[in-house]
Amino acid sequence: MKALTRDTEDLFSTWQVNPSLPIAPQAYEFLRQCIVDNTLPPGAPISEGIFATQLKISRTPLRTAMQQLAGEGLIVTRPQVGSVVAMLDTERLEEAVFMRSVLEEAVVRRLAERGLDRQVLAKSFAVQKLAADADDYATFFQEDEQFHAKLAVLAGVPNTWRLVHSVKGHVDRQRFRMMSGIPYRSMRAYRDHLKIVRRIAAGDGDGAALEMRKHVHSVLELVPDNGTLLQLQAQLPADDG
Amino acid sequence: MKALTRDTEDLFSTWQVNPSLPIAPQAYEFLRQCIVDNTLPPGAPISEGIFATQLKISRTPLRTAMQQLAGEGLIVTRPQVGSVVAMLDTERLEEAVFMRSVLEEAVVRRLAERGLDRQVLAKSFAVQKLAADADDYATFFQEDEQFHAKLAVLAGVPNTWRLVHSVKGHVDRQRFRMMSGIPYRSMRAYRDHLKIVRRIAAGDGDGAALEMRKHVHSVLELVPDNGTLLQLQAQLPADDG
DNA sequence: CCTTTAATACTAGTATACCAGTATACAGAA
DNA sequence: TTCTGTATACTGGTATACTAGTATTAAAGG
């Protein structure tokens, strides 16, 4: 099973900027991934000055990235004080699941109405199956994003995926946190995808929506109650107290 | 009936910055309003340098505002070329309506399940009725936002309104464009709101969702086909051609 | 000892300077 | 006339300098 998380120590060593492309989006992707895979744990301070220096970029593109992450709620910025990675919050997670589920249910309903050529998803399913069989979660995760995005495109509402993606960080963070060490956890998602598309192809909008709902909500099964959650992240900032 | 739009000439004269508050959000609100009320029409170029100078602020907070608007699709930025106000696009509008409707339908469904004390909305309805009777669309529009936001808060999913708001610009722009000159256009929205809350209070989630759906979709009644739309905005950039 | 206050060391917000890429207008060649 | 190459005047992206506000700490007073 391939590694999911990185050590905080070599956080900056994994960063390699491509100077011929805009820096801000690269910084955004990097920071988002660090937060999602808990390399930057909840409560971790993110100083613009320090990070810009360490990442060998200026504060400007880093700020652009951080402002976007703050908009998604993955970073909390207090003016003139500092920014930290957002704490884990069950309510926030449940709301993210709510929003995502509602949007993606509507997408598959549209697809069921408009019809869907299953062939166009064949390649994606092939990649998913390979990754799931090999228990290569990193690859599966990547293809999973492509799959969901493609559903929105095929439904004629491509921007809907952008909206889903903007709330998905909270979900992914929880997934990475709770699923580390669970083998073959991508297999279930693969089967969920199959079920969803089968319902769509059958023209069964309600059924497809229900399968999508179960699929999206499955992450909540792994979430402990809020008390346990607060305990978990309480370890981190209290270490030096 | 109060004026809805401003002339482009006094665009910058209506701008008054409060230096004791963060500038970037103020610039965002200003630009967004200018785009929504067509003071900045589709296709209008927005040069960072020129606007920063005219607004008497620096490029940095202006850029922050523009990047947010670009994220919402109200501005299109081409690197090293320039930024323009996004063209009107029926598909984009319909998708915005789709996303908004889906999210707000789910909100009122939640409210119907969880129960709702109608009293907490009494004050909002009072303001709405006053504004609707006086045909004061500016005030009504403001309270309308508060009303929808409050529904999300009461449903326990406050961030959902943020998501709705991020796609709402396209809807509002169309509304301002098509509703200029139509008297008492807020009265229907007021009645829609009443219907929605009545269904919620009755515990009728499906009915509330249907009323919300009709309410949100009503803006599409005013939209001409895409061809007419393109003609409308074709007048603008072609003036000096 | 504890409380209060002032100095200091941070922070993010803002302003400005610089850079590299793009479009345009114009001159010159075919 | 038409096409092409080039000089120029823009654009947004980036780097950096500066400002103002906040938390911390240490010193002074009780």
Q: What pLDDT digit, counting tens, does each position of A113-161 carry?
A: 999 988 999 999 999 999 999 999 999 999 999 999 999 999 999 999 9
Are the C-beta atoms of residues A163 and B167 closer than 8 Å to each other? Answer: yes
Are the C-beta atoms of residues A124 and A150 closer than 8 Å to each other? Answer: yes
B60 touches strand C (CB under 7 A): yes
Q: Which nucleotide is nearest to A67 (CA to C1')?
A: C12
CA atoms within 13 A on the CB side of B213: 12
Tokens of B163: 């998501």
Q: Does domain B12-87 have CATH number 1.10.8.420?
A: no
Report d(CA A103, CA B99) in Å as an integer. Answer: 7
Nearest to B73 by CA among B94, B55, B87: B87
Mean pLDDT of chain A: 90
pLDDT number for residue B124 = 97
CA distance from start to end of chain A = 36
Do B157 and A67 count as a contact with CB atoms less than 8 A apart?
no
| Confidence label for A72 from pLDDT (cuts 50, 70 and 90) | very high
A12-86 fold: Arc Repressor Mutant, subunit A (1.10.10)
| pLDDT over 50 (residue A236) | no
pLDDT number for residue A238 = 35
Instruction: Return the residue matching tokens 């009072």.
Output: B126
Q: What is the pLDDT of residues B181-201, one digit of tens each?
A: 788 889 999 999 999 999 999
Which residues of B are less than 8 Å from A64 in CB distance?
Answer: 67
pLDDT number for residue B212 = 98
* Chain B residues 37 to 56 with C-beta below 7 Å from nucleic strand D: 46-50
Q: Which of residues 133-172 of A touch B (CB under 8 A)?
A: 156-160, 163, 166-167
Q: What would the mean pLDDT of A22-48 be, rounded to a whole number? A: 96
| Confidence label for A183 from pLDDT (cuts 50, 70 and 90) | confident
pLDDT number for residue A237 = 40
Residue type, B17: V
Residue B50's contacts (CB-CB under 8 Å, 6 or more residues apart) are none
A24 touches strand D (CB under 7 A): yes
DSSP H or E stretch at residue A63: helix A59-71
Report d(CA A41, CA A136) in Å as an integer. Answer: 23
Q: Which residues of B138-156 are buried (b: 16+ CB within 10 A; e: fewer)?
A: ebbbebbeebbbebbebbe
Report d(CA B209, CA B114) in Å as an integer. Answer: 14
Burial of B160 (0-12, 13-18, 19+ CB in 10 A): buried
Q: How far is the CA of A238 from the C1' of C5 (A)?
A: 29
Residue A110's contacts (CB-CB under 8 Å, 6 or more residues apart) are A155, A156, A157
Nearest to A161 by CA among A107, A218, A94, A215: A107
Same fold, A12-86 and A90-222: no
- For chain B, residues with pLDDT lower than 70 are 1-5, 7-10, 224-241
Q: What would the mean pLDDT of A3-25 be, rounded to a whole number? A: 81
pLDDT number for residue B10 = 67
Instruction: Name A75's bridge partners.
Output: A85
Nearest-CA residue of chain B relative to A153? B95
Between A165 and B11, whose confidence is greater?
A: A165
Handedness of CA B120, B126, B129, B131 (dihedral sign): negative
Taken as a whole, chain A contains a residue count of: 241
Nearest-CA residue of chain B relative to A21? B79
Q: What are phi and psi of B72, to 5 degrees?
A: -85, -5
B90-222 fold: Four Helix Bundle (Hemerythrin (Met), subunit A) (1.20.120)
Which residues of B are less than 8 Å from A102 in CB distance?
Answer: 102-103, 105-106
Task: Check if A89 contacts B (Cβ < 8 Å).
Answer: no
Instruction: Return the residue matching tokens 């895979």.
Output: A37
Q: What would the mean pLDDT of A187-198 be, rounded to a whole number? A: 97
For chain B, percent helix, then strand, then coil, each to nearest 5?
Answer: 70, 5, 25
Which residues of B are less than 8 Å from A71 in CB distance?
Answer: 68, 71
Report d(CA A192, CA A211) in Å as an integer. Answer: 7
pLDDT number for residue A6 = 73
pLDDT number for residue A29 = 97
| pLDDT over 80 (residue A185) | yes
A74, A208, B102 from A219: Cα distances, Å: 18, 18, 22
Nearest-CA residue of chain A relative to B94? A157
When CB atoms are compared, the residue of A64, A160, A166 closest to B67 is A64
Are the C-beta atoms of residues A111 and A151 closer than 8 Å to each other? Answer: yes
A4, A17, A173 from A34: Cα distances, Å: 11, 15, 10
> Where in chain B are the domains?
12-87, 90-222
Taken as a whole, chain B contains a residue count of: 241
pLDDT number for residue B70 = 98
Are the C-beta atoms of residues B197 and B148 closer than 8 Å to each other? Answer: no
